[in-house]
Structure 1
Amino acid sequence: MNEESLSQLYLKDTAFQNLMQRRIFNVLLVASPYDAFMMEEDGRVEEQLYFEYVALNLSSPPRVTRVSRPCEAEELLATKNFDLIIMMPGIDLSETFEGAKNLKAINPDIPIVVLTPFSKEVSRRLSNEDFAGVDYVFSWLGNVDLLLAIIKLLEDKMNADNDINEVGVQMILLVEDSVRFYSSVLPTLYKFLLKQSLIFSTEALNEHEQMLRMRGRPKVMLARDYEEAVELYERYGKHMLGVISDVSFRMGGEKDSHAGLKLAAYLRGRDPYLPIIIESSEEDNRKRVKEFGCQFIDKNSKKFPVDLGSAIMRDFGFGDFIIRDPETGEEILRIHDLKDLQHHIFDIPAKSLFYHASYNDISRWLYSRALFPIAEVIKGHRFKSIEEAPAVRQLFFDLIVKYRKMKNRGVVAIFRKDRFDHYSNFARIGQGSLGGKGRGLAFIDSIIKKNPVCDNFEGVTLTIPRTVVICTDIFDEFMESNNLYPIALSDRPDEEILKAFLSGRLPERLIEDFFALFEVVDKPLAIRSSSLLEDSHYQPFAGIYSTYMIPHVSDRYEMLAMLSDAIKGVYASVFYADSKAYMAATQNVIDQEKMAVIIQEVVGRSVGDYYFPSFSGVGRSLNYYPINDEVPEDGVVETAVGLGKYIVDGGLSLRFSPRHPDKVLQTSELSLALRDTQTRFYALDMREQMISDFKVDDGFNIARLRIQDVAKSGALRYMVSTYDPYDQVIRDCDEGDGRRVVTFANVLQHRVYPLAVLTDFMLSKGSEEMGRPVEIEFAGVIDVNDTSKGMLYWLQIRPIVERKEIVDESILGLPDSSLLLRSNAALGHGTIENVSAIVYVKPQGFNSANNSLIAREIEKINRNFTERNEGYVLIGPGRWGSSDTALGIPVKWPHISSARLIVESSLSNYRIEPSQGTHFFQNLTSFGVGYFTINPSSNDGFYDVDYLDSLPAEYDSRFVRIVRFDTPLAIGINGRKGQGVVVRPDAGIQNDMTN
């Protein structure tokens, strides 16, 4: 059975939350004060039920309201709703049954149960009563377990059609007409089932799932004669786990001393493998029962409940699954749980596998554990001969693997060191918040779970990396136990803060969890921040805190030391100067920030001493830079070879629209491809000398490699093309002597890997599920072979907050004589208000060698604006935020956080391709900051620097000048058209815009 067939067969999980929708919450007890007192044993029925529910981990125990007589019940029913009426007859039995008829006439949908003490005299009197208004009669033996059994029996009946026939929940049929006997058996049966379900529910990944799984326990249906039993089998027989039946009960309206045997014969004819337990008080029936291949239990046995429990455990699939030799009956192997079955499936002898599969033993065992999807497939598979055993073993193994992967999807499991394995996907340590990125990853995982196509998307699996989140309560504990707040909140240098954090101790209990993690994840680990404020809907802290990467080494104590230091380093980054500046800019309070930490396997593979993904990238569902046939709603993707830090740092990435992958601007001309494509990339340096002391710079062990050098190894195949200088062409292969050019041509044009459709899927589904435009991060491994094309890992999703303000189109059409700035490549949307200052880098005598000095000066200027809570327009040459000083001024976002409009303006002697604000995109969109690209020398936009130079300066240094106006500037951006303007104050427009 191939991969696609497996996916289609059962990758639809059981919606346990949709089971048991109809519940009994309010019970009306009609009993005399004496009967009620005797029933409660001087206590409260409600309390006893509550404690019974708690002991069995059941939710929503019912509330009990008591009245003395049926007439009082009628009055109460007129004003209040009840789900069940329990009536205890007094001396006058007839009053109770007449009252039941009246109550049933008023409320025909409410089940009515009569609860009566057992005696021969009561039984005689009952035989003369009219049962028309009563659903069930039970014999009260003073055991509160009976009340629980009554409630569960009725709930099972109410939910049977949906839960059994629609979902596949299993059913146990009890056939018994003795009131005294089924009143005794039902509590025993339910107590057994609920305890078994509680044991099996521990396979759930968290407490919420554990509670929901309890709803998948087998249901019990009670039949009191032959016809009722047949009717229940006809309705629910496809999902019957087993039958427990008396021998003597009514058939055709008459008592038949062999009705149970006739029922067994009928059921055996319909399902030869259905487990049947026959209980009888007549020992003579034992032989006849055995002839049917059924289990016999003596009703008169003093250990009847024990015998019944043992028979159910053995025949109905509860307990361990015992693999037996079909010839001798000898036990060969004992399977405890699904994981155990996966590990031992290939150890089961062929004859035993054939035997157990033929009798549906495997599917029955799975059904009893509420593993419906996988049980359904195994039950439906016809194992025709013993020669098929190898194929069947493989099928069952593949089913279990796929099921376990599916169960781990979209669920934030509690990390348990004894259960975290290769199929675990997402787990948390601690009880606090997951933080912004953690929530984003959990959300992504839920999207993937709802779309089975992600398992095989044109040969690629879309997933998230294996992830463990250390929740925010661990951060609180670490901070308090090490007394770190005094130094953290001080103005000490970042290096001192990091040193103090590294000397702190994490909770000791984490050590064993980390060792369990190392056993499963054999790849390098990324330790990423996930603060409460990060990636929130309206103030995302994108890229503010540290992300460390550590290699995988064989010494687990060395791994432990590196992981611990990396976690402490991420914690420390909350309190670095840049973070505090950002907090001030966003008007957040630093000591309200809480940090969760994501520990995640790094996507990629080793190439020599380095480790990196084939590619990484970011995508946005709104594209304000459409070209050719693109529209903004088509989205935009930027991708690059190696680690995604390269894109964050402003390196050259390849930009494409996922719906127009054939039209890549950067590779449309030879000169552009040679000039505007990636020549270097980032990789994790795995050499030992690179993994020593942790530094404030989280990139201390990240290597910057040349594309040309690594391409020779073949590791960049399909992503690079080769430039042939003789023929002046770029060939879409990685062979030859020429320069390697990162074009992704084989991926985007020749479709060897479906990156375009996958990114379009992520952006479309992400926007649809989030209900707003989104930004995503991803990384992938290309590994084209016969069975797959590789993997794509969806790393993050966060909302883009799109400004809705309407722009006054009239100002966009003003002549240049009325403008300070015009851009035809404007990022952002709306009107920027309350800005009256312009900070600009002097173009005269500009030299890129001074860019680092300029960055420090602008940081100081920005700090002054931040302190005054004031915005400004920032203008300068080259790329703002590039880590390469040759390309632009290397500021970080906190250094320019008060800028409301940022402008890249090229000079005649300094032309750098525009970055389009990629480094700050999330912050730009979230805060409504505009980003203009202007190239006056090629008539692409307009910048009146002469006008600014003619005005008096508020600040004037060697590199930077500040000009302030008396009234706010009129600034408008139409992001859909990519147009933006800043109007000159003397044009007379600003008052209209800002009033």
Structure 2
Amino acid sequence: MQEIAYNQQNYFRMQSTLAEYPILRDRIIEAMLNQLVRDQVFSLSEIQVLVTEKAIRSQTREGLNNPFIQEGPAGWEHRLSRIRAHLIIDQYANQYTFNKFIETVNNIVENRPVEKEPDFFWHNVEFASTESIFEQALQLERDSAAGNADTLAALSGAKTVLIRRCLSEDPDFIEVAKKHLKVQDIYEVNQKKIGQGPIGGKAAGFVLARTILQNSADEEIRSTATTRDSYFIGADEFQTFLATNNLLDIYDTCFLPDQERWDRYPFLHQRFQEGALPGNLTNPLRRIIGEIDGRPFIVRSSSLLEDSYRSTVNSIYESVVVPNQGTQEEGLVQLQAAIREMYAQVFNPQAIQYREKKKLVNTPERMGIIIQIIRGHCVGNYFFPDLSGFSVSQSSTRWSPFGKPHELESGYTRFVLGLGSHALYRHSSDFPMFVRLAEPIIPETRKGRIFNHFSQKLVAVINLKSNRVELIDIADIPTEKYPFSLFAAQNQVGGKLQSVQRSSELDRAVLTFHDLIYKTNFVKILRSMMTSLDEGFERPVAIEYSVICDFDKSSIPTFRIQIDKCRPIVKPAALSNAPCQPTGEIRKFIETEFNVIDKLEKQIHYVVVVEPRGNYNRDGLQYWIRTLNRELADASFVFFSRRRFGVADNGPGIRVKFADVQNAAALIELSDPKTGEVNDFPGGTQFYSNMIEIGIAYIPVFLGSRNTLIDWSFFETQPNVVRQFIDLPNEYRGMIRVLPAKGYQGYGSLTLRSSLQDGKTTLYLTR
């Protein structure tokens, strides 16, 4: 297409007229474009090339010497939009009379209330504004519902563009979402969004999950699945924040050596907290705080790389709970600080290491934001949901030998009384409830005289008086004000469990959830929901949820289950290596029937033993574990301990995050019920999810269980070669040992093998 000079009189008259139609201006310009295409003045591809060329030249003219870094996606789209409009008016002014232009304007105005036909070709949908696509796609959806089959192709095209612009750019998600989401669903989400860009993977996942459940053929699912009041910030605002605060240079952080990232992060984090949010967000955020009206809320990440179908980034960004019990201005300040915290976490060394491990560090990350109102009950000064938890529709392992011997688990749930943070983070001595969905049986460790030791004892709540999130003892919850305690707790009397009475206190209570599991339909409903989501997403899924129990009509509660997050499960290749039968002379080192992974085999060079003792510096131990993990990156090794890995508190567990151990082939945890050293199954925690996503196997060993074996002489006789890798300070020597697999009693190699066919996980030595 040749550029031609302006017909100046026509051009300026058209510009002047368009200024009188501020709302319809975009639609008038689209109609002008369609006329030019119909009359073959140019093709869409020709004008797209010219618009792009002019946009690039305009960047140079405006002094952008590195446009990719200096101008975010929102700025680039705005630039393209303005140049495109100018070119369309220019070409139209040279091809048609002003009277023809006025006819086009009048046609748009006259047909505005009800349009029988779209005003632009659907093959031109990429050029249209989002508002125009919504307006006409909604009409197409109404026509389709009325039986007009001719609109289906156009409707599908419109949905594709709207999902990509408003929800997620993941092509696999778009293909699935088109089957379930109506244009009206996408429109309602867009009405809750502020700023530019899609809402990101996590938000898109729970929007799709909510729609699937609300459209279920099962009335029980429809009546139980409730919506959560949510607001969204488009992912393009992240780039705008960086540009506004001169932070674009910190992308280089992703390519620095690991330790240098850790050294720089406190300074970078401070720069983010001092940064100003884009000005276009201030008034909408103030409006959101007004609509929330003093209720607690949570701010979650929703980046474009999170929770995708192909290579999901999962649970690496931490959410921020805002109690919101002050003034609206204080609530706004807390919300803005939480958003800046979400943005800063993109450059957290833990997150960068995770993206490196998944080969995503070269893919630019853009952070969307979810703002969700927390639903719950007020019990005294405390506010919390009745239940919060995590569930998977299909497990990637067979957790216990008591299930079907050669089949994976059909799914499980891990839940707690109170806020979900207590279920998602591992603690040194607390035990969230773990239930298999197919067979909801309370684990044997929760029964007998030691049940109190293996139960949840702390509850995460929002203290409305102190305006803080706190962990409180279950005994601090007054039973007479909390009817759900009848189904969550039992009292321990004389070594036996008895039902809690309304008038009793919870000073001797144990959270067994016995009546919830056996006397209500909670597990059945959750299992049905997981099956429905599994089918809707067309692959296994994992969800986070919260539950409100109502006792309005009966002594048996009804449930309102809110889906807070839903993502497809992606099994990494590192956990999919088909095992071979061992050959030659073998000696078993460790064997267990718990948490068996199908078709896994890895060669192991070192066993790293972590044995904390005394009153040690937990930050220091974490640093040396992380350093050793980095030094052993080129070797294959496993961590071994009697303590829980990945705890979030300062108790007796090992406080590390997944990035501190991410190069390991497996984590082996030893439990001994006789001594009370029992490690809970971490399935559902963020730590465990991170491990599985990057291919680290979790191997629990329960002493005293049938067919459990461990060769203690290996630990007693193999030399400690830790000094070959790190120089431990005196206070940590003996706490971390590196034992080579080669050379033990003449054996040459150590192999980790897990197979459903065998029904066990074995580490064995071969000559």
Post-superposition CA distance 1:442-498 (Å, at most 9, x none):
2213313432646x548x531342222212211101011101244673654544333
Post-superposition CA distance 1:503-522 (Å, at most 9, x none):
11111221221122223323
Tell me whether 1:876 sits opposite 2:634 in the alignment.
no
Among candidates 228, 251, 264, match of residue 465 of structure 1: 228
- Identity fraction in percent: 20
Structure 1 CA distance, aligned partners of 2:365 and 2:759?
A: 36
Decide whether aligned partners of structure 1 residues 408 and 728 sit closer, same or farther in structure 2, where only a CA change above 3 A counts: farther
Structure 2 counterpart of 1:905? 670
Post-superposition CA distance 1:245-279 (Å, at most 9, x none):
xxxxxxxxxxxxxxxxxxxxxxxxxxxxxxxxxxx
Structure 2 CA distance, aligned partners of 1:516 and 1:60?
A: 38
Structure 2 CA distance, aligned partners of 1:536 and 1:598?
A: 16
Among candidates 947, 957, 961, match of residue 714 of structure 2: 947
Decide whether aligned partners of structure 1 residues 792 and 977 sit closer, same or farther in structure 2, where only a CA change above 3 A counts: farther
Give the AA of the match of 2:654: I
Structure 1 CA distance, aligned partners of 2:211 and 2:36?
A: 33
Among candidates 275, 289, 292, match of residue 518 of structure 1: 289
SS at match of 1:574: helix
Decide whether aligned partners of structure 1 residues 857 and 793 sit closer, same or farther in structure 2, where only a CA change above 3 A counts: same
Post-superposition CA distance 1:899-956 (Å, at most 9, x none):
1111001368854323223333322332332111113455652222422442333216
Among candidates 128, 135, 151, match of residue 210 of structure 1: 135
Structure 1 counterpart of 2:92? none
Structure 2 CA distance, aligned partners of 1:711 and 1:728?
A: 22
Structure 1 CA distance, aligned partners of 2:760 and 2:567?
A: 26
Among candidates 560, 581, 584, match of residue 791 of structure 1: 560
Structure 2 CA distance, aligned partners of 1:655 and 1:978?
A: 21
Structure 1 CA distance, aligned partners of 2:668 and 2:351?
A: 24
Give the AA of the match of 2:385: P
Structure 2 CA distance, aligned partners of 1:409 and 1:654?
A: 39
Decide whether aligned partners of structure 1 residues 890 and 976 sit closer, same or farther in structure 2, where only a CA change above 3 A counts: farther
Structure 1 CA distance, aligned partners of 2:421 and 2:533?
A: 22
Structure 1 counterpart of 2:452? 674
Structure 2 CA distance, aligned partners of 1:200 and 1:653?
A: 57
Is 526-535 or 850-859 further displaced after alignment? 850-859
Decide whether aligned partners of structure 1 residues 653 and 411 sit closer, same or farther in structure 2, where only a CA change above 3 A counts: same
Post-superposition CA distance 1:80-103 (Å, at most 9, x none):
xxxxxxxxxxxxxxxxxxxxxxxx
Decide whether aligned partners of structure 1 residues 678 and 897 sit closer, same or farther in structure 2, where only a CA change above 3 A counts: same
Answer whether contact 1:848 1:888 (CA < 8 A) is retained: no
SS at match of 2:451: helix
Decide whether aligned partners of structure 1 residues 814 and 881 sit closer, same or farther in structure 2, where only a CA change above 3 A counts: farther
Structure 2 counterpart of 1:196? 113
Answer whether contact 1:619 1:777 (CA < 8 A) is retained: yes
Structure 1 counterpart of 2:390? 618
Answer whether contact 1:625 1:978 (CA < 8 A) is retained: no
Structure 2 CA distance, aligned partners of 1:851 and 1:409?
A: 55
SS at match of 1:475: helix
Give the AA of the match of 2:245: N
**Superposed displacement of residue 768, structure 1:** 1.4
**Superposed displacement of residue 850, structure 1:** 4.3
Structure 1 counterpart of 2:613? 847
Post-superposition CA distance 1:147-199 (Å, at most 9, x none):
99xxxxxxxxxxxxxxxxxxxxxxxxxxxxxxxxxxxxxx99x9787321269
Give the 5 Å matches for 1:638-657.
Answer: 638-650=414-426, 651-657=430-436
Tell me whether 1:722 sits opposite 2:497 in the alignment.
no
Structure 1 counterpart of 2:657? 892
Decide whether aligned partners of structure 1 residues 974 and 916 sit closer, same or farther in structure 2, where only a CA change above 3 A counts: farther
Structure 1 CA distance, aligned partners of 2:266 and 2:39?
A: 67
Structure 2 CA distance, aligned partners of 1:679 and 1:627?
A: 28
Scaled by the length of structure 2, the TM-score of the pair is 0.70
**Superposed displacement of residue 584, structure 1:** 3.7
User: Which consecutive residues of structure 1, in runs of 5 or more, have no partner in the other structure?
Assistant: 1-50, 67-142, 149-186, 220-235, 240-405, 417-426, 691-700, 989-995
Structure 2 counterpart of 1:507? 278
User: Which consecutive residues of structure 2, in runs of 5 or more, have no partner in the other structure?
Assistant: 1-23, 41-98, 119-128, 149-180, 254-260, 724-732, 743-747
Give the AA of the match of 1:901: A
Post-superposition CA distance 1:606-651 (Å, at most 9, x none):
3333322111011112242256566634311111101111112214
Structure 2 CA distance, aligned partners of 1:874 and 1:576?
A: 24
Structure 2 counterpart of 1:964? 740
Decide whether aligned partners of structure 1 residues 713 and 855 sit closer, same or farther in structure 2, where only a CA change above 3 A counts: farther
Is 546-555 or 594-603 further displaced after alignment? 546-555
**Superposed displacement of residue 415, structure 1:** 5.2
Decide whether aligned partners of structure 1 residues 218 and 587 sit closer, same or farther in structure 2, where only a CA change above 3 A counts: closer
Structure 1 CA distance, aligned partners of 2:243 and 2:289?
A: 28
Structure 1 CA distance, aligned partners of 2:540 and 2:267?
A: 40
Structure 1 CA distance, aligned partners of 2:370 and 2:487?
A: 29
Give the AA of the match of 1:612: F
Decide whether aligned partners of structure 1 residues 734 and 914 sit closer, same or farther in structure 2, where only a CA change above 3 A counts: farther
Answer whether contact 1:621 1:774 (CA < 8 A) is retained: yes
Tell me whether 1:982 sits opposite 2:748 in the alignment.
no
Answer whether contact 2:386 2:548 (CA < 8 A) is retained: yes
Answer whether contact 1:783 1:790 (CA < 8 A) is retained: yes
Structure 1 CA distance, aligned partners of 2:677 and 2:200?
A: 38
Decide whether aligned partners of structure 1 residues 600 and 848 sit closer, same or farther in structure 2, where only a CA change above 3 A counts: farther
Give the AA of the match of 1:764: T
Answer whether contact 2:216 2:532 (CA < 8 A) is retained: no
Post-superposition CA distance 1:545-565 (Å, at most 9, x none):
221111234632221111001
Is 556-565 or 851-860 further displaced after alignment? 851-860
**Superposed displacement of residue 782, structure 1:** 0.9
Structure 1 CA distance, aligned partners of 2:349 and 2:624?
A: 16
Among candidates 599, 614, 633, match of residue 830 of structure 1: 599
Tell me whether 1:55 sits opposite 2:55 in the alignment.
no
Among candidates 299, 307, 315, match of residue 527 of structure 1: 299
Tell me whether 1:565 sits opposite 2:337 in the alignment.
yes
Decide whether aligned partners of structure 1 residues 65 and 547 sit closer, same or farther in structure 2, where only a CA change above 3 A counts: closer
Decide whether aligned partners of structure 1 residues 928 and 832 sit closer, same or farther in structure 2, where only a CA change above 3 A counts: farther
Structure 2 CA distance, aligned partners of 1:435 and 1:194?
A: 35
**Superposed displacement of residue 897, structure 1:** 0.9
Q: RMSD across aligned C-alpha pairs, in angstroms?
A: 4.1
Structure 2 CA distance, aligned partners of 1:428 and 1:857?
A: 43
Scaled by the length of structure 1, the TM-score of the pair is 0.55
Post-superposition CA distance 1:295-321 (Å, at most 9, x none):
xxxxxxxxxxxxxxxxxxxxxxxxxxx
Decide whether aligned partners of structure 1 residues 525 and 975 sit closer, same or farther in structure 2, where only a CA change above 3 A counts: farther
**Superposed displacement of residue 52, structure 1:** 12
Tell me whether 1:477 sits opposite 2:240 in the alignment.
yes
Among candidates 414, 423, 429, match of residue 194 of structure 2: 429
Decide whether aligned partners of structure 1 residues 52 and 558 sit closer, same or farther in structure 2, where only a CA change above 3 A counts: closer
Answer whether contact 1:720 1:740 (CA < 8 A) is retained: no
Structure 2 CA distance, aligned partners of 1:503 and 1:806?
A: 47
Structure 1 CA distance, aligned partners of 2:528 and 2:751?
A: 39
